[in-house]
Amino acid sequence: MSANTRTIQSERTKKMILSALFLAVGIVLPFITMQIPSIGNMLCPMHIPVLLCGFVCGGPYGFVIGLMTPLVRSMLTGFPTLYPTALSMSVELAAYGGLTGALYPKVAGSAKGIGGIYEVLLISMLGGRVVWGAVSVILYRIMGNVFTWQIFAAQAFVNAIPGIAVQLVLIPMIVRRLQKASGVHVD
């Protein structure tokens, strides 16, 4: 086995282990945030590890962990309810993880500073919410219910303001810390 093959396998193993860690955090973190009944759900606790997985491990890993986290949590705990909530969330989170992982490497070298992180994060957060809205329209229609723009705006943005704020503060800070710890050039 060549040194290059060992390096690739080592990197793949590292990403798989980190992805499993992000999945575990996505399952456990809601237990912690739900201790704050008034806003626990609004903190969007499963979003944080999925977004980080995309930044750290890349698009394919972020996509899979995003897809799995709500579904696995629903099957293990019953929350969120599998249909339609966990199903629509899984597609939303898959978009978050996939987009952060796909977009971040494309950000130019110097833009990988805090501005580049915010750029990727904001695009991914908007993209995931649009995907969630589209899937919700379909799932609610199948159920015989209506999913309006007002419901979309309330659920995706208004009710999620605490979670959006937490993500905008924590994610760039954690990504920058990880860059510094790994020796990646930061501005």
Residue 186 within a domain: no
Residue 185 within a domain: no
Read off the DSSP letter of residue 36: S
CATH number assigned to the domain comprising residue 10: 1.10.1760.20
Average pLDDT score over residue span 125-149: 95
Residue 51 within a domain: yes
Q: pLDDT at position 56, please? A: 95
Q: What's the predicted TM-score (pTM) here?
A: 0.93
User: CB within 8 A of 139, min separation 6: which ones?
Assistant: 83, 84, 87, 88, 147
Q: Based on the structure, what is the number of domains in the chain?
A: 1
Residue 111 within a domain: yes
pLDDT, one tens digit per residue, over 36-78 is 878 888 999 999 999 999 999 999 999 999 999 999 999 999 9
Residue 10 within a domain: yes
Residue 32's domain spans which residues? Answer: 3-180
Q: What is 71-108 written as a DSSP string?
A: HHHHHHH--S-IIIIIHHHHHHHHHHHHHHHHHGGGS-
pLDDT, one tens digit per residue, over 73-132 is 999 999 999 999 999 999 999 999 999 999 999 986 666 788 999 999 999 999 999 999
Residue 28 within a domain: yes
Residue 71 within a domain: yes
Residue 187 within a domain: no
